[in-house]
Amino acid sequence: MHVVTRTWWSGALAREKSVTVVLPPGYSPRGRPFPVLHLLHSYGGNRRSWFNCPELEACVAAHRLILVMPESGRYWLINDAAGRRYEDYFVQDVVRRVDEEYNTVASPAGRAVAGFSMGGATAVFQALRHPELFSVAGSHGGAFEAPLREGDPYAELRADRQLMMPTVKDHERVWGPVGSVVRRAYAPGRLLAERDPKAPLRVYGDIGLGDHARMIAMNRRMRDGLVDHGVDHVYEERAGGHDWQFVDAGLHRLFGFVQEAVGGA
């Protein structure tokens, strides 16, 4: 894989931020432009998190996609309750700079965004909020009901040191208290209800049957919302938990879905 790090000034965050870019075999700055797949990490991850997937290299080799991996650590790529403008950073700074510096399909028809957990939900949220930028979204184990969360539904699991779910304090420093303006802005039901039905959108989603019961339930509700609002989608429940092994096992499905959706771009 041809992996590069690009560091750009972000007007939204008022500081420099780095992204990881993966260029596919045969990439050329001239000729036919390349579709772009933005990959968003899970809670506490970074722009290198997707390299936890051994199948990533094979997916890159098999598909004609530029990959872009931004990072936000334990913050969502949203404009949050504390005034952090990570959504503006992503949709204004990252998307713009990628189109400026690489031979991309600079239109919604050639842009996809996907992610795992926090990143999976954010990917779908941003595609719903920005049809002028994205026409394809994908989610592995998306945490879709973060804007609706009350208290700590994972309290009894806190003894597991591998649990990467935010505490109440960490959650509310991003989303604000229950009923906040930020929570209302990103509520999945509201985003689906307010989307332009004429805007092209295809969504891929899956969830592991060994995931937390709350995660399985919210993914099923998101699937039902996509059905109710007539959004073209593929949804799958398969073996696995809430981890990168689950993501890796479904990576070829995600890349194939994205490539088919943007193949004519």
- For 16-53, the pLDDT digits (tens) are 999 999 999 999 999 999 999 999 999 989 999 999 99
Q: What is the pLDDT of residues 201-241, one digit of tens each?
A: 999 999 999 999 999 999 999 999 999 999 999 999 999 99
Domain that residue 221 falls in: 2-262
Per-residue confidence (pLDDT) for residue 18, from 0 to 100: 98
Per-residue confidence (pLDDT) for residue 264, from 0 to 100: 66
Give, as one character, the DSSP assignment of residue 24: P
The stretch 7-15 carries a mean pLDDT of 97
Q: What is the pLDDT of residues 173-202, one digit of tens each?
A: 999 999 999 999 999 999 999 999 999 999
**Extended strands (E) in the chain:** 2-10, 15-23, 36-40, 66-69, 111-116, 136-140, 202-208, 232-238
Per-residue confidence (pLDDT) for residue 166, from 0 to 100: 83
d(CA 251, CA 235) in angstroms, rounded, equals 14
Per-residue confidence (pLDDT) for residue 167, from 0 to 100: 86
- Closest to 120 (Cα-Cα) out of 231, 246, 12, 33: 246
Per-residue confidence (pLDDT) for residue 153, from 0 to 100: 85
Confidence of residue 1 (pLDDT cuts 50, 70, 90): confident
Confidence of residue 157 (pLDDT cuts 50, 70, 90): confident
Look over the chain and give the mean of its residue pLDDT values, rounded to a whole number.
95
Any idea what the CATH number is for the domain that residue 82 is in? Answer: 3.40.50.1820
Domain count, the chain: 1
259-262 long-range contacts, CB within 8 A, separation 24+:
259/35, 259/63, 259/64, 259/65, 261/112, 261/135, 261/136, 261/202, 262/35, 262/65, 262/105, 262/109, 262/110, 262/111, 262/112, 262/135, 262/136
